[in-house]
Each structure stands twice: as structure tokens, then as C-alpha cells.
Amino acid sequence: MEITPTHYMLLSAALFIIGVVGVMVRRNIIIIFMSIELILNAVNINLIAYSAQQQNAVGQVFAIFVIAVAAAEAAVGLGIILAFYRNKETINIDEMNLMRW
């Protein structure tokens, strides 16, 4: 069976849904971060799939940019988590409500 763009789209959508649900429902910030990575990678799959189909390298270049940005985001995010943990002794996201009224 030949692998068509539809398959890639379905994979990407599944991965995206898993990531979004992970962000919404999990309480551990690390897990949330990992879910965000899933969302980003779902996007990457989409980009590369279309790049291959269109025979256009721009999509792949874009995916590399997304990976770079995700790496930077992960570094910053992990720094914040570390700082938060030092203050609060927890990484439960429900405890992160300092910006409330």
C-alpha cells in the first residue's frame, strides 16, 4: 500500500491531538513540555510531507527552523521550570497561579 499525503495528514493530526490533550490535561509541567514538542513535531511532519509531495525544499527548511526554535523554547522553558521548582518545591501546574487577580 502506497503511503499518500492523507496518511501523513492523519498521523500529523493524531499526533497534534495527542499533544493538545496532553497540554490540557496533564499537571506535570515536564509532561506539558513534552506534549508541546509533540504538537511542534506534528507540524513538522505536515511540512515535510507537503515538501516531498510538492518537490519543494522550502518546507524542509521551515521544519529545521521549527526544530531550532523548539530547542530554544525547551531550554528557556526548562530554566523557568528549574527556577520555579527551587521556589515552590513542586512542578505541578496548578500551583502556578501567581498571575491571578
Partner 1 sequence: MRYIWLIPILPGIGAAINGLLGIRSFSRKTAGIVACTMMTAALGLSLFAFWQLLGLPADARAFDYNAFDWIPNIPLETTNGVGLFHITWGFRLDPLSGMMILIVTGIGTLIHVYSTAYMADEPRGGVARFFCYLNLFCFFMLMLVLGNNFLVMFVGWEGVGLCSYLLIGYWYEKKSAADAGKKAFITNRVGDWGFVLGVFLIYMTFGTLDFRAVQNAAALMPIEHVHFGVLSFICLFLFVGATGKSAQIPLYVWLPDAMEGPTPVSALIHAATMVTAGVYMVGRNAVLFSHAPQVMLVVAIVGVLTAFMAASIGLVQYDIKRVLAYSTVSQLGYMFTAMGVGAFSAGAFHLMTHAFFKALLFLGSGSVIHAMGGEQDMRRMGNLRKYMPVTFVTMMIGTLAIAGIPPFAGFFSKDEILFRAFLSNKFIWVVAVATALMTAFYMWRLMAMTFFGAYRGPAWDTAHSADVAVAADHCVKHPADTQAHGQAAKTSHEVSHGPADDHSHQSSVVSHDDHGGGHGHGPWHGPHESPAPMTFPLQALAIGAIVAGLIGIPAAIWPGGNAIEHFLEPSFTAEHHVAEHGVGAESASPAGETHAVAETEHETEPQVSRLEEIGLMFFSVLIAVAGIATAQKFYVTSPEISEQWKERWAGAHRVLSHKYYVDELYNATVISGTFGAGKGLWAVDRNVVDGAVNGAGKLTVVGSWFSGLTDRTVVDGLVNLVGWVVQESSLAFRRFQTGLVQNYALLMLFGIFASVGIYLLLLAR
Q: Contact residues for partner 1 (CB under 8 A)?
A: 20, 23-24, 93-94, 96-101
CB of 72 to partner 1, least distance (A): 19
Residue with smaller CB distance to partner 1, 4 or 92 = 92
Q: By C-beta, is 21 or 57 nearer to partner 1?
A: 21
How many CB atoms lie under 10 A from the CB of residue 35? 19
- Residue (48 or 93) nearer to partner 1, CB: 93
